Amino acid sequence: MKFFLSIMIIISTVHFSFAGEKKLTIEDAWTRPVVLENRPSAVYFTINNEANEPDKLIKVVSALAKRIEMHTHKNQDGVMKMIQVKDIPVAANSKLKVEPGGYHLMVFGLSMKFSQGDEFPLVLKFANAGRVPVVAKVMKKAPTQMDHSNHMDHSKM
Ligand SMILES: [Cu+2]
């Protein structure tokens, strides 16, 4: 029995390391309601990169949109301007907030309007983590940040 148990442990460990638990996840994805057709929309979320290497978001697609760009804001002579970027980098073992006033996704050519409570599915492509499907919830303002104090395993970092 003891032998059998240790075999089981080895198998599950191997399975774990090869199946590769997602080291990069997206939290609190949201977008604002779109009441006028053909108006661009913005999508926000938090990238949680638990991998030991940096990653970057390189492409975003959705079946419901013609084009999704990555943008950031830049202060130019006291004026905040929105500029397109090639990628959104996220450091190893860190979180990056894609939020109003900073990095965001800009969605063009939406095939539908969004009301509060709707869901907007999109696929984020990362250089290392690969494809990460995300469902952004349509809401009028940012979701309240989750209380992370109950993540006990962070204490070992
Ligand atoms: Cu923008």
In a domain, 5, yes or no: no
User: What is the 3-state secondary structure of 68-128?
Assistant: EEEEEEEEECCEEEEEEECCEEECCCEEEEECCCCCEEEEECCCCCECCCCEEEEEEEECC
Domain encompassing residue 90: 23-141
The rounded Å distance from CA 3 to ligand 1 centre is: 58
In a domain, 15, yes or no: no
Q: Per residue of the chain (157 residues), what is the pLDDT tens digit? A: 555 556 555 555 554 444 456 799 999 999 988 877 778 899 999 999 999 999 999 999 999 999 999 999 988 899 989 999 999 999 999 999 999 889 999 999 988 888 899 999 999 999 999 999 999 999 988 876 544 444 444 434 4
In a domain, 40, yes or no: yes
In a domain, 99, yes or no: yes
Q: How many domains does the chain have?
A: 1
Q: Return the CATH number at 63.
A: 2.60.40.1890
pTM of the model: 0.76
In a domain, 92, yes or no: yes
In a domain, 157, yes or no: no
Residues with CB under 5 A from ligand 1 (ion): 71, 82, 106
In a domain, 18, yes or no: no
The rounded Å distance from CA 47 to ligand 1 centre is: 18
